[in-house]
Amino acid sequence: MPLLRDLFLKLSTNKLMRDFVVNFPLSCRVSRRFVAGETLDEAIAVVKKLNAQGLAVTFDLLGESVSQESEARAAKDGYLRALDAIAANRVSSQVSVKLTQMGLAISPDLCLDHMRQILRKAKAIDTLVTIDMEDSPYTQTTLDTFKTLRDAMRFDNVGIVIQSYLYRSEKDMQMLRALGANVRLCKGAYKEPAEIAFPEKKDVDANYLTLAQIFFDSSSPANGAYLDLATHDEKIIKWAKEYTTRHNVPRDRFEFQMLYGIRSDLQRQLAREGYTMRVYVPYGTHWYPYFMRRLAERPANVIFLMSNLFK
Chain residues that interact with ligand FDA, rule: CB under 6 A: 132-133, 161, 163, 184, 186-190, 230-233, 257-259, 262-263, 280, 294, 297-298, 301
Rg (CA), the chain: 19
184 catalytic per annotation: yes
Shortest Å distance, C-beta 75 to ligand FDA: 16
Residues contacting residue 310 through CB under 8 Å, at least 6 positions apart: none
Nearer to ligand FDA, 177 or 294 (CB): 294
Nearer to ligand FDA, 222 or 300 (CB): 300
Name the residue among 148, 125, 138, 112 with its Cα closest to residue 59.
125
Of the listed 150, 177, 184, 293, which one is catalytic?
Answer: 184
Shortest Å distance, C-beta 45 to ligand FDA: 20
Reported as type and span, the H/E element at residue 31 is helix 25-31
Nearer to ligand FDA, 184 or 286 (CB): 184
Q: Which residues pair with 58 in a beta bridge?
A: 94, 280
Reported as type and span, the H/E element at residue 66 is none
Q: Which residue is nearest to ligand FDA (CB)?
A: 232
* Beta-carbon count within 10 A of 274 CB: 9
Shortest Å distance, C-beta 286 to ligand FDA: 16
User: In this structure, are residues 149 and 193 in contact, taking their beta carbons and an 8 Å threshold?
Assistant: no
Shortest Å distance, C-beta 163 to ligand FDA: 5
Shortest Å distance, C-beta 65 to ligand FDA: 14
32 catalytic per annotation: no
Of the listed 132, 172, 205, 228, which one is catalytic?
Answer: 132
Nearer to ligand FDA, 32 or 220 (CB): 32
CA angle 79, 134, 160 (to 5 degrees): 65
Reported as type and span, the H/E element at residue 260 is none
Query: What's the sign of the alpha-carbon dihedral 17, 186, 170, 205?
Result: negative
Which residues have a catalytic role annotated?
A: 132, 184
